[in-house]
Structure 1
Amino acid sequence: MKLLITGGTVFVSRTLAAYFLAQGQEVYVQNRNTRPQVPGVRLIQGDRHDLKDCLKGYRFDAVVDTGYTRRDVTELLEALGDYGTFLFISSSAVYPETTPQPLRERAAAGYNAIWKQYGMDKAEAEQALQQRDPQAYILRPPYLYGPGNNVYREAFDWDQTHRDQVNRKPLTAFIDRNFR
């Protein structure tokens, strides 16, 4: 399979590039080439907001995009020629924080007071993709953990939990101190 992965140098996209290479797939990454590439990928160098003709002449069996905005998706789709399957890595931040848990895929997207513009941007990117390619796949993970995570968000939560355990400050003491 011939795959295109946008990014390919940080966390999710890098992990996917390495995984598909290990499966024997032909992996192309599109990025600015400002960070080390996964050994074995085929680089298509360019800024995603200035793709020009850098994707012309390619035909991909699958495209994996980790874009953030409507513009990200729209410009990529306009630059792509023919492709097979499109997979967009979105976020559960597209759901309002009041959406009942567990989240249901068909729940309405909307403003999330915690994630704010990030969630709205991802929702608009999804809409742009669905308008152009109704058969595209969209994943909405709530959180992504693991090696290579370049955002100190989830790790912050784990660090705070560990610090409280080391200092023998149980969660109940925190609740008593702050919420009673």
Structure 2
Amino acid sequence: MRVDILVTGGTVFASRYIAEYFSENEHNVFVLNRGSRPQSFGVIPIIADRHQLGDSLRGRHFDAVIDVTAYNAEDVNDLLDGLESFDNYILISSSAVYPETLPQPFRETDKCGENRYWGRYGTDKSAAEKALFSRVPDAYALRPPYLCGPMNNLHREAFVFECAEQNREFYLPKCGEMKLQFFHIGNLCSVIEAILQKLPDQHIFNVGYDTAVSIKEWIELCYHIVGKAPRFEYVSEVIPQRSYFPFYDYEYVLDVSAMNTIISELTPLEESLRQSYEWFRNNRSSIVRKPLMEFIDNELRKEKL
């Protein structure tokens, strides 16, 4: 059944992919953004600031609101104040809401709190959830780990692809055993779709691949997709990891057993990274780069010499 869906953002990575996914599945997709970036084909732009909506959403009914760009309680409250009528609301939250001190894997029933690695980002996401559920008790919140797949403009797998293309040695933190949990952006869309179809009794879901992968395995997989094999240089823990590697020195795992009750098929990580690389090859200028290579060349390689 064709429905009307409002997606906040709709121009970059997760929000753009979600908007295009539901548009390609023949729904009427409206995207709410300030019009500062190119819009996707097939969506209906509503050009407005979510904090100054005025009457831009008045007189409209949405079967679903998919809020990808809410980062704090004010973001949620201002959008709710501007909405006139909707049936379902899904907030894309974050696994950053879990304190790092909790036993792992993190479960949806665990108490949220400050995480020293994520800081305010995590506490603000938690506040966004609280604001939403206080006003819309039957809303849904999804808590992903690291998202991956096409349209990812962050300097994560893109950085590794660049290192592989240039046949560079890869500087790996410690012994490379730290594990990361990922989730394909297309599978996130599948979870959203399943929620809208089934309206499950549970309203908060961790989402992600069932198993984490070591950073060494992840790097090897990225190089393999480019057609290369990495040569590793191991870096001691005294050098700040984020200076030369795109992830925090923080390992965590989510319990995604509840998610597995509403969807069954996931895109394998290797295929997700393959899709990432195909997108990256045609959208290099879209990557928000960090000075990782510069630090490696100016500090790590110099130290090696």
Please give the TM-score of this superposition, normalised by the length of structure 2.
Answer: 0.53
* CA offset digits 1:10-53 (Å, max 9, x no partner): 00110011100111100000101111111010111111111111
Q: Which moved more, 1:146-155 or 1:24-33?
A: 146-155
* CA offset digits 1:87-129 (Å, max 9, x no partner): 0000000000122222211111000000000001100000000
Q: Which moved more, 1:150-159 or 1:93-102?
A: 150-159
User: Distance between the aligned counterparts of 1:124 and 1:52, measured in 2?
Assistant: 24
User: Distance between the aligned counterparts of 2:71 and 2:60, measured in 1?
Assistant: 23
Does residue 163 in structure 1 map to residue 165 in structure 2? no
Q: 1:160 to 1:115 in 2, by over 3 A?
A: farther
- What is the SS of the residue equivalent to 2:49? coil
1:1-180 → structure 2 map (5 Å cutoff): 1-66=3-68, 67-153=70-156, 155=158, 163-164=170-171, 166-169=230-233, 173-174=234-235, 177-178=236-237
RMSD: 2.1
- What is the SS of the residue equivalent to 1:85? strand
TM superposition shift of 1:178:
4.4
TM superposition shift of 1:147:
2.2
Equivalent residue pairs, number: 174
User: Distance between the aligned counterparts of 1:11 and 1:146, measured in 2?
Assistant: 9
User: Distance between the aligned counterparts of 2:93 and 2:5, measured in 1?
Assistant: 18
* CA offset digits 1:105-156 (Å, max 9, x no partner): 1111000000000001100000000000011010000111122223335655
Structure 2 counterpart of 1:100, which letter?
P
Q: 1:139 to 1:160 in 2, by over 3 A?
A: farther
- What is the SS of the residue equivalent to 1:64? strand
Mind listing any 5+ residue stretches in structure 2 that lack a counterpart? 172-228, 239-305
User: Distance between the aligned counterparts of 2:23 and 2:45, measured in 1?
Assistant: 13
Structure 2 counterpart of 1:163, which letter?
F
Aligned sequence identity (%): 48
User: Distance between the aligned counterparts of 2:39 and 2:133, measured in 1?
Assistant: 30
- What is the SS of the residue equivalent to 1:76? helix
User: Distance between the aligned counterparts of 1:73 and 1:6, measured in 2?
Assistant: 11
User: Distance between the aligned counterparts of 1:78 and 1:137, measured in 2?
Assistant: 18
